[in-house]
Amino acid sequence: MFFVTPAYAEEAPAAATGTDAHAAPAAGEVHTETGVAEGEHARGPFPPFDSTTFASQLLWLVITFGVFYLLMQKVIAPRIGAILDQRHTRISQDLEEAGRLKAEADAAVRTYEGELAAARAKSNAIGSAARDAAKAKAEEDRRAVEASLSEKIKAAEVRIGEIKAKAFADVGTIAEETAAAVVDQLIGGTVAKADVAAAVAAAKKEA
């Protein structure tokens, strides 16, 4: 169904006179094919809210959602899952490594404490042995000194006895000589040595 406006009617004679029927219509002309004046398209509804395009919009929405879903399922989700698995594995390995290092550290501490205790026991044993050895050496030296002093004392006693005996012998001789000299001075004569010796011996016995 075609609509003809008065303006178009006024231009009809010009078409009949041989003007170009395909020339651009004047402002305000109405297209006979749509019945909508040119310039009124811009004043139509916003395309996403145009009810006439809902079907195509829904179709493209389904297609876009499907593509996005496939992209998420086939590409993005596997990559995210792989990253999460890799991080989980890395964390598990780090935890295992930390546990292993802690066990090694605990073992090293126990070994160190055992070696330290053994060293202390050994040092105590060495100290005790050294003290015992020093005591034994001191006791041995004391005994050796005492033995040496005892021998020296015995030798001194023997020497003193010898000196005393010699002195006593000398005293007898001196007494005999002194007695002979006294008798000689008193009576003016000599006396036999045997008599003098007997007199001195008798005097020693009386003393």
User: Does the structure show a pLDDT above 90 at 36?
Assistant: no
pLDDT computed for residue 162 by the predictor: 84
User: Does the structure show a pLDDT above 60 at 58?
Assistant: yes
Segment 175-199 mean pLDDT: 68
The interaxial angle of helices 193-206 and 77-187, nearest 10 deg, is 120
pLDDT-based confidence at 193, cuts 50/70/90?
A: low
> Regarding predicted confidence, which is higher, 205 or 160?
160
> Regarding predicted confidence, which is higher, 45 or 152?
152
| 58-67, 90-99, 192-201: least confidently modelled range | 192-201
- Bridge partners (DSSP) of residue 37 are 30
C-alpha torsion 48→51→52→57, nearest 10: 40
203 token code pair? 């005097």
User: Does the structure show a pLDDT above 80 at 155?
Assistant: yes
> Regarding predicted confidence, which is higher, 18 or 91?
91
| 79-93, 125-139, 141-155, 175-189: least confidently modelled range | 175-189
